[in-house]
Amino acid sequence: MSFASFKGRYQRPVPTTNLMVNEEDFDRFEQLDDDSDFMPRAPPPGVEALSVVGVNTRQDLNEGPHNTHDYVTNQLVVRRGQQFTIDVTFNRPLTPQDDFQVEFLIGSDPSPNKGSLVVVTFGNRPGGSWTGQIVGAQGPVTSLGITPNPRAIVGLYRLYVAVSVGSSLQRTDRNPATDLYVLFNPWCPNDDVFYPDDAGRYEYVLNSTGLIYQGTNTAVTERGWVYGQFEAGVLDACIYILDTCRMPIDNRDDVIKIVRTASAMINSQDDNGVLVGNWGEDFSMGTAPTSWTGSSAILLQYHNTGAPVSFAQCWVYAAVLNTFLRCLGIPTRLITNFNSAHDNNGNLKIELIFKADGSPDRRNTRDSIWNYHCWNEAFMKRSDLPTQYSGWQVVDATPQETSDGYFRCGPAAIAAVKEGDLCYPFDSGFVFAEVNSDVIYLKSDRYGNMTPFRVDTAYTGILMYTKAVGSWSPEDITHNYKYPEGSPQDKQSMARAEQYGCQRDHSDVPAGKLTLDITSESTLVGQPVRILVTFYNQSELHKTAKAHIEVSMVYYTGVVSEKFWMEDFTLQLEAFHNNSAMFEVKPQDYIKFMGSKAYLHIVVTGQSDTETTSQVKVVSLKPPPVSIVLSGQPQLNREMYVTVSFRNTLNMMLHNAKMMIEGAGLMDTRVFNYSTIGPFAEVSQKVRFIPRKPGVRTIVALLDCQNLPEATSMVEVRILQ
């Protein structure tokens, strides 16, 4: 960007670039000013002037204590607020008369008062905000301990050593080999991202593989995801994202600003960000969201091309944001909210409209309830909020609503959401509505007048899962977001939210004497789906229930793809008794409409006299399984094999199939394409790999195709040193 565009507003252009800074930082020789803190000194008689021979950033020594040993890079990676050691080789041993300093620069046009040029001194002379001390010396090699400020700017720094020679300053040449990354530090109590226990730090910062929960609240499924935050090039890709949106360098010390920026930049809705969303069925111009197994391929493609990557849906946005934040050192976890409210009116009402005959009025229904929605939580101190609202914060990169002009959401304090304290930034009202909206069932007459006949206050946000610490099991965190339904605390929280503008429905809908329940279990694709509908008569009079059942294929967002099965039926109900009807949806009824969608949406509406009742049920369809078998010696740098197999159990051809295999620290992503997989046919791939990192590692495999929901699997292996 030219300086002309800044004239009249800034004295100089605002530095916004960290990578690819090619300008000259300093003259190699600099004449000292009269007011310089350097004390011009001549060496003692017979001693040559001090000069620097070389600098060793001691990657081998520092990466263990800084928990950065997994980063695949030739540069040193350290965490702020914690000492690291470098070795400087001079042309001779140091003497008390020698004066030198180490300088760290980040971004273009670095400045001491902005924290982008830091001078570290090693004597009585004052330096910058980082501290330094001499921790050892052996002949001409001096070991220097340097501690970055816990509020240091995060990113890639350039390093120079400057020596006082007479009345001038002599610096080392620019050497990219001594560049180093400084990251957030959840191990440092003075860092805003400090996390209080080791198990949590391992899970939320160092774990490079996770689980994403999908399905429905009664039939939760899971898929593995390779976050790959330590893979080669990923750290640079994350910094590149901040450069692309021209985030000022001096703002990159602030976790709140970085998280909020990342929430906007992971989607490409309005800022040329990382991922293009696509909730349709045509993915011919990119990769289907269901085909991704990890984040690194997405981030590296974005960095290499500078163009948004196609395609994503909510779990892909959340997984890539998880990688971005963990890579920079911010404790982060991926959350799934089951029955997530998506309201177009900015209130606490999800309005489902039904026609007079009991069938859903999809043309006039604008709101939707997603089977699930994925977002992130980032752990941080909120210095801009009351103390009790530090901790986990919701951050959502899926483009839904604009916030301060960009499609982004958060960070929103979970504790504030739970209490209904929605006056605090950022976007807490939107998050509150996702987990607390009431579902209003409305009946429309032929003139378009709508009357509420049922209100369900417990349906949305019914279950919230994240991967448990140190386990492959889910952790239920619903209680972090809301109090038990109907409790005094829940009522108080809802009332407080209304005071901040979240409008609820207060229709006086009396408790009905006619109710119904739908029972249907998740089933394998190709099997019949059985649906049990039970009506309950809670009055002292006989009732005749005239009912309508409708089954549709839906996207996970609750949007109907195809209505394919319906039936009217009648049940006689004695006083204070119930009666049931069983229905069976055959495979041939639904399979031709399935595509990559995995959900059946069942709606039943019943009427008796003046009463109307309705119920909704979502049933997931499970694909055939993927098998993973490991062989070989699980040892670092020793040959191993993984065999991934899939058998088509259906009497139909699968089209445009893709098998993906990936494992952080084990192997790069491998892709195998099949134009077709025949009925009852099996495909298998045996892949050789050589483990690159020791410890517990995971391989994720996936089979995706055009006309069947994706099948996923994962296997864990411990790689010996």
Residues 6+ away with beta carbon under 8 Å from 324 = 229, 238, 241, 262, 266, 299
CB-neighbour burial class of residue 623 (10 A; exposed 0-12, middle 13-18, buried 19+): buried
Alpha helices in 38-190 (DSSP H): 59-62
Residue 548 tokens read as 């309508």
Amino acid at 527: Q
Both tokens of 8, joined, read 């009249």
CB 563 within 8 A of CB 621: no
String of b and e for 129-158 (b: at least 16 CB within 10 Å)?
ebebeeeeeeeeebbbbbbbbbbbbbbbbb
Is the separation of the CB atoms in 350 and 455 below 8 Å? no
What single string gives the DSSP state of each residue in 198-235? HHHHIIIII--EEEEEEEETTEEEEEEEE--TTSTTHH
Under 8 Å between Cβ of 700 and 293: yes
Share of the chain residues as helix, strand and coil, in percent rounded to the nearest 5: 15, 40, 40
The H-assigned helical ranges of 557-704 are 587-590
User: Is-contact 27 33, C-beta < 8 A?
Assistant: no
Strands (E), 623-666: 626-632, 640-647, 654-663
Q: Report residue 36 CA to chain centroid gap.
A: 48
CB-facing half-sphere around the CA of 696: CA atoms within 13 A: 12
At 528, list the tokens: 């019949």
State yes or no: cis peptide before 148, omega within 30 of 0: no
Q: Which amino acid is at 643?
A: T
DSSP code per residue over 424-444: STTTHHHHHHHHHPEEEEEEE
User: What CA–CA distance (Å, rounded) separates 180 from 142?
Assistant: 19
Q: Contact, 337 vs 318, CB < 8 A?
A: no
| Strand 599-608 with 168-171, pairing | unpaired
Q: For residue 511, what are its two tokens?
A: 């408790």
Q: In the β-sheet with 514-519, what is the strand arrangement from edge to edge?
A: 514-519, 529-537, 578-585
Query: And the tokens for 75?
Result: 């540069």
For residue 582, how many C-alpha atoms fall within 13 Å in the half-sphere facing its CB? 5
Nearest to 664 by CA among 317, 294, 347, 277: 294
User: Measured between alpha carbons, how far is 466 from 290 in angstroms, rounded to an integer?
Assistant: 20
Of 710, 719, 519, give the one whose Cα is nearest residue 624: 710
* Catalytic residue set: 314, 373, 396
Q: Report the candidate in 551, 546, 527 with the shortest Cα–Cα distance to residue 535.
A: 546
